[in-house]
Structure 1
Amino acid sequence: MARASFTPENLPLGNERIDQLMFLRELIDANKKVAQYQVLLQNTKLPSHLLLNPVMLNEAVQSTKIEGTQVTLDEVLEVEAQSRKNNKDVQEVLNYYQALRDGMDKLAFWPISTRLFKAMHVTLMSNDVRGGNRSPGEFRKIQNFIGPEGCTLETATYVPPQPQLVDTYMSNLEIYINDPQDQLDELIRVAIIHAQFETIHPFLDGNGRIGRILIPLYLFSKKIIDYPNFFLSEALERDKHKYYQFLNDTRYKGDWNQWIRFFLEAVILQSDKNIRLINGINRLYEHDLDAAQSLINSSGVKKLIDAIFQKPIFTVHSIASAAEISEATCRRYLSILEANRIIFSDGRQRSKTYYYYSLLDQLR
């Protein structure tokens, strides 16, 4: 017998649904850690925008991994540097990255809204990727269901709301995002918002990825973070079966407290990792910039090191353009850095690809 389609609660949730004493310690710790990460970013030695490209690409890798795509950060960076042929798995990651950037850009003049979700979904499903023929940029008009690969409506673990109700539920979610009318902390709200988006499952494909992009966009829009660069996909992918189960428990058991505590634990885990990453990258940047400047007496070397932190896998052409120096000068600088084992290459005579492993090791 097929599981009936689910009927979600409208937001905001009733006060009886949430007992903050059950996750008060995690809430305090999560807010403290996110604030610590933001202060660290504001005072980093490395201009924080330089880290955005590799960190966002790593988020794209982790988020698509939850959906079953098997690709590494190195492979994506090699395709970006045009030293590796593209494929559909890498393109899914690049689409996620671009959808994330599109969402960030559009927040300057759009609220978080149905319009924004649909625009990001078009980007996510572009370039002939898996699911690209499943109504990109449009809410679903047919019933969908969720479960293990090969499952049917009869064996699904979750059946979202009927398609004719999607617009109504998404309108309620949009109102809650922009005018919540409750007294909850923003980290609790974003946990609820993410779960509600996944419960509605408004698209035929790509719901998990759009729902995870929503997390940093929401925190940025509420000024909890200074830039939409706090990503939870890696922490959620680590415990993905718990992630799915606790989402389902909000639906069929009404257990929001368990889900919120799990979400806050993921925030704490990711904050700790982000803090270690920034501290490690600060030390690396200082050390390798000093080393490079001692080897190359030119103001252009700082531009080159900054560009390498932005693109840790690169060719002469791609990094010279990013650093705004000539290819001849760039080639000479790279030869010195490679001779001193600051960077490494694949050893080809032509179209050589370079790897800045010191940063890659920290990002992976």
Structure 2
Amino acid sequence: MDRNRFAESAPGELVTTTIDGYETPSFIPDSLDTIELDQGEFTKEIGQAMRMLGALEYIGPKAGSSTMLIEAFARKEAVHSSRIEGTQVTLSDMYRYEAQQAVGETSSDHEGARQAENYLEALQTGLKAIERDERITVDTLCEMHSILLDGVRSEDPSPGEIRDQQNYLAPFEDADISQATFVPPPPTQAHEKLDALLEYANAPQPIHSLLKLGVIHYQFETIHPFRDGNGRLGRLLVSLELQREELLTEPYLYLSAYFNEYRGDYTNLLTQVRTRGSWDDWLHFFLRGIWQQAKEGVKRGERLLELRREYVTEYQTHRSEYILPVTQQLFKNPYITAKQAEQQFKFSHTTAYSLIETLEEDGVLTEVESDGSSRLYQATEIYELIDTPLSES
């Protein structure tokens, strides 16, 4: 890491650390309570973001279907977050994996789908923890980290433990320390800095909560407290803080899609904070992300709810009392097998096949896979509303 890139205004200090015999500067960030921000600089963007968060908050409860949106948005986030890490996974992979696992069917243990499933489980673990304690602790983050890396390939030999070795960021895989673009604090500082970050996060601060979230995300990624998985955990931390700060009552909003879309800007702006203290540019970018993702969530949620209402109108008077519950379940996972319907709703084998046949004839379901003994169906319209970019839908 080139120490000449760091200006006097950099919010931290450089110290020398050694990795495999190679000496390099590493960056120890200042305490967050030393930051000086002109909050008036962000008034317009904070207002826009808060109004859109309010609209997003209203979507689920008004139709009595917040769970549907929570599950759809969380799975989409899990996929985008995994993609940022270079994992090849699609939303379809994840839904297929869940549908097959639900009934104990043999499934190709898709590495990407497993990683995305871990992300979901880690999110739920974090949300339950803040419901209990109303704060985020090191133990909670370590538990989430352990879940994230469970059963997937990782460079971290000790999931769930704060690193005891120096790590670094590099422009490509297998790059050595001499090619590092950023070297976080030495391991002797990692735990102390994480403790200080969480103390800041859990206490009221004199800046708006949205600015606080942006500052927290920067600091976590700069500390890089674990050997691996810091990006995923740092993005999860934003989602937890949105609820802990009572900006949302349900986990409707995630930033991975935005960070992935503008990955170059995301990386460069974090670097500019570290090297020059350019907080304003980073926080403007972060606030735009909150607004953009909330706006997309509102649009996508409205379209899903409208389709859900259409299905209710279509099937609530159907001769089979079972068909409406099946269509509603498809909003949680738009992939289904007859065996899954049979087990989940306690249908007979004949009833399950009859309902799926009806929904296939109506164009709700499309067969997408068959191994001879089992057929997998997709609720294509639902899936596309969840997955397709809004500009294409």
TM-score (norm 1): 0.93
Match of 1:297 among 296, 300, 319: 319
Shift of 1:325: 4.1
> Offset of 1:13 from its aligned partner?
3.5
Match of 2:330 among 308, 311, 318: 308
Q: 2:293 aligns with which of 240, 257, 270?
A: 270
Partner AA of 2:159 in structure 1: P
Q: In the alignment, what sits opposite 1:8?
A: 29
What stretches of structure 1 of length at least 5 have no aligned partner?
none
Among 243, 261, 265, the alignment partner of 1:220 is 243
Deviations 1:152-193 (A, max 9, x none): 22221111001001111111111111114x311111111111
Is 2:354 aligned against 1:332? yes
Q: CA deviation at 1:347?
A: 6.5
Alignment of 1:75 with 2:119, yes or no, is: no
Equivalent-residue separation in structure 2 for 1:347 and 1:228 (angstroms): 32
Instruction: Go from structure 1 to structure 2 and tell me whether the alpha carbon gap of 1:60 and 1:287 turns closer, same or farther (over 3 Å shift).
Output: same
Distance, in Å, in 2 between the alignment partners of 1:321 and 1:190 is 43
Q: How far 1:289 moved relative to its partner?
A: 2.5
Q: Which residue of 2 aligns with 1:32?
A: 51
Question: C-alpha distance in 2, partners of 1:360/1:186?
Answer: 34
Return the TM-score normalized by structure 2: 0.86
- Residue 120, structure 1, aligned to residue 144, structure 2: yes
Aligned-pair CA distance for 1:352: 0.7
Shift of 1:326: 4.2
The answer to whether the 8 Å contact 1:288/1:342 transfers is: no
Higher relative contact order (CA 8 A, sep 6+): 1
Which one-letter code corresponds to 1:363 in the other structure? I
Shift of the 218–326 alpha-carbon distance from structure 1 to 2, 3 Å rule, reads farther
SS at match of 1:137: coil
Secondary structure class of the residue paired with 1:353: strand
The corresponding residue for 1:23 is 42
Question: Which residue pairs with 1:64 in the alignment?
Answer: 82
Q: Answer yes or no: is the 8 Å Cα contact 2:70–2:250 preserved in 1.
A: no
Say which is worse superposed, 352-361 or 50-59, in terms of deviation. 50-59
Shift in CA distance, 214/320, structure 1 to aligned 2, threshold 3 Å: farther
Q: Spell out, residue by residue over 1:116-157, the C-alpha distance to the aligned partner (whole angstroms, 9 max, x if none).
A: 100001101111x12165210000001100021133222211
* Residue 250 of structure 1, CA deviation: 1.2
Question: Which residue is equivalent to 1:178?
Answer: 202
Give the whole-Å Cα distance in 1 for the aligned partners of 2:267 and 2:350.
Answer: 52
Secondary structure of 1:345 counterpart:
strand
Shift of 1:292: 2.9
User: How well do the aligned residues superpose, as a CA RMSD in angstroms?
Assistant: 1.8
- Partner residue of 1:357? 380
- Is the deviation greater in 19-28 or in 53-62? 19-28
What residue is the counterpart of 1:155 in the other structure? 179
Aligned to 1:188: 211
Amino acid at match of 1:35: G
Are 2:211 and 1:211 equivalent residues in the alignment?
Answer: no
Asked if the contact 2:311–2:324 (Cα under 8 Å) also holds between the matched residues in 1, the reply is no
Q: How many angstroms apart in 2 are the aligned matches of 1:14 and 1:121?
A: 28
Q: Assess, with a 3 A threshold, how the Cα gap between structure 1 residues 170 and 293 changes in structure 2: closer, same or farther.
A: same
2:220 paired residue number:
197
Aligned residues: 358
Match of 2:261 in 1: 238
Rounded to whole Å, the distance in 2 between the matches of 1:327 and 1:179 is: 55
Q: Which runs of 5+ in 2 are unaligned?
A: 3-22, 388-393
> What is residue 310 of structure 2 aligned with on the other side?
287
TM-superposition CA deviations, 1:42-99 (whole Å, max 9, x none): 2135x21133333212111000111111111001111111174122222211111211
Q: How far apart are the structure 1 equivalents of 2:236 and 2:194?
A: 16
